[in-house]
Chains A and B, each alone.
Chain A
Amino acid sequence: MDKFKLKIVTPEKVVLTDEVNQLSVSTTSGQITILPHHLPLISQLAPGEIIVKHQNKAESLMAVFGGFIEVLPEEVIILADRAEYAADIDEKRAEEAKQRAEEALKEQHLDSEQFAMLSATLEKELNRLKVARKYKQKGIRNLQ
């Protein structure tokens, strides 16, 4: 089966480098799946999930928050602001973080900047939670 190189990096670390068969990400214009020989593409990532199909049929699920994707003829590069493996997300803590953000949003006297920041936090935590739950339900095998 055809394959392509995939690099997922964040400012903090290189999350994944591997040769893979298939990749699904959510961009600002919707969910896309990239197979080998995809046309060169540059797009912006939305908070969402990344699903990678590795060569040994295993899948990785990741929560990603913001960033860019660059598709080159034989290589795909994801420059994410934040990315973590679903298995690494502590569901309880993500839930707590979500609740904290929700409560803070309910409070009044927020200026627009604070509001935007809190909404972003909430969105991020919701996404992490979603990915963590999906991981749990489907029991997707995780490559680490």
Chain B
Amino acid sequence: MSQGAGDIKRRIKSVKSTNKITKAMELVSAAKMRKAVNKVLATRTYADLTWELILHLLKKVDIKHHPLFRENNPASTGVKNVAVILIGTNRGLCGSFNNQLARKVVASIQLHHPETVSTDIITMGTKVRDEARRMKLNLIADFPKNDITQDSNVVRPIVNLIFKDFVNQKYDKVFVAYTDFMSSLRQIPHVKQLLPFSTEIDERLGHIIHEKEVSQKADLNKISEFIFEPNQAEILNNFLPRLLEVQLYQTVLESEASEHSSRMFAMRNASDAAQEMVSSLTLVYNQARQANITAEIAEISAGASAAV
């Protein structure tokens, strides 16, 4: 057999083993995605009820003066300093996931706050950190991220950091950039305002399938006044950071679901491409083999006719 056919055979073999790896990674990502989706769903009730509590409070007591609700800068002076938390991935092989997220951040800052003087970036996940560095964004902190986040403790350091800086008026606004998990086929990078708190429930966050649940709202008119124990200030000071934590935790979970599903699709595409490559290489291999045989027969028959 000629050298050419042997080479092709080797290539087929290597493509086939790559195919096996991508196939396995696809299955692993699918399993991780399911897990992450379940986690988002499990946290949703808690997050919704937390928001409802805040809404109840807003109707009954004036908490606008609390530092986390106050806009640090009146609209006239504009938003000068903002911080953006980017929630990305630790690993690659998930298409343009991190790149899209970073670009979305730059685009939305330019669009909504053109007057912004400085934008500080906090990242979570090594790949998105590298991406931010490549885009020459002003990176101030990077937090480690797990593959599957177990509980809300992982976001606590970030909450502490932005909480302190926001209360000290270092930032006028704090955003979080995450990838919204619409379905396993569709994930959209999304930038959401974290601080100051807006008083609207976010319909997107945590609502994976974006169905609207009709829940019975408590009749607020019946409530004359809330009793706070031990007192209002203490409750708010403890509760609002917790709310922040819950929101951030949810964005992390959503990002995780998106990450795994986009990796799953990247791997599926790779598997398909590998299979296509194998079949076209097999064709070339067979042609080369056939050409070999034909050449050999020609040689033999030429030798035979010469002998006669």
**Inside 8 A of A74's CB, which chain B residues have their CB?**
218
Query: In the complex, what distance in Å separates the CA atom of A13 from the CA atom of B218?
Result: 22
| Interface membership of A95, Cβ < 8 A | no
Contact between A29 and B229 (Cβ–Cβ < 8 Å)? yes
Q: When A and B form their complex, which 5 residue pairs have the shortest distance between CB atoms, in order from nearest?
A: A43-B229, A41-B227, A72-B218, A40-B223, A9-B46
Whether B228 lies near A42 (C-beta < 8 A) is: yes
Secondary structure dominating the interface of B: helix
Taking the complex as formed, is A139 at the interface, i.e. its CB lies under 8 A from any CB of chain B?
A: no
Provide the residues of chain B in CB contact with A14, threshold 8 Å: 45
Tell me, in angstroms, the Cα distance from A10 to B49 when the chains sit together.
10
Question: A44 to B53, alpha carbons, bound, how many Å?
Answer: 13
B206 to chain A, nearest CB (A): 11
Bound together, the chains give a CA A126 to CA B156 distance in angstroms of: 24
23 contacts between A and B (CB under 8 A): A7-B49, A9-B45, A9-B49, A11-B152, A12-B43, A13-B42, A14-B45, A32-B229, A42-B226, A43-B228, A43-B229, A43-B235, A68-B239, A68-B242, A70-B56, A72-B56, A72-B223, A74-B218, A75-B218, A77-B52, A77-B53, A79-B46, A79-B53
Instruction: List CB contacts (< 8 Å) of A79-114 with chain B.
Output: 79
B246 in contact (CB, < 8 A): yes
Q: How far is the CA of A74 from the CA of B216 in the complex (A)?
A: 11
- Chain B positions within 8 Å of A12 at CB level: 42-43, 151
B222 at the interface (CB under 8 A from A): yes
- Counting CB contacts under 8 A, is B275 at the interface? no
Counting chain A residues whose Cβ lies within 8 A of the other chain, the interface size class is 20 to 34
CB-based contact A39/B227 at 8 Å = yes
* CB-CB nearest in chain A for B238: A44
Which residues on A sit within 8 Å (CB–CB) of B213?
none
Determine whether the beta carbon of B246 is less than 8 Å from that of A40.
no
Give the CA-CA distance A67 to B304 in the complex, in Å.
95
CB-CB under 8 A for A42 and B227, given A13-B42, A68-B239, A79-B49: yes
Give the contacting residue for A11; candidates B46, B224, B226, B234; CB below 8 A.
B46
- In the assembled complex, the CB of B223 is this many whole angstroms from the nearest CB of chain A, namely 5
A33 neighbours in B (Cβ, 8 Å): none
CA distance A7 to B46 in the complex (A): 10
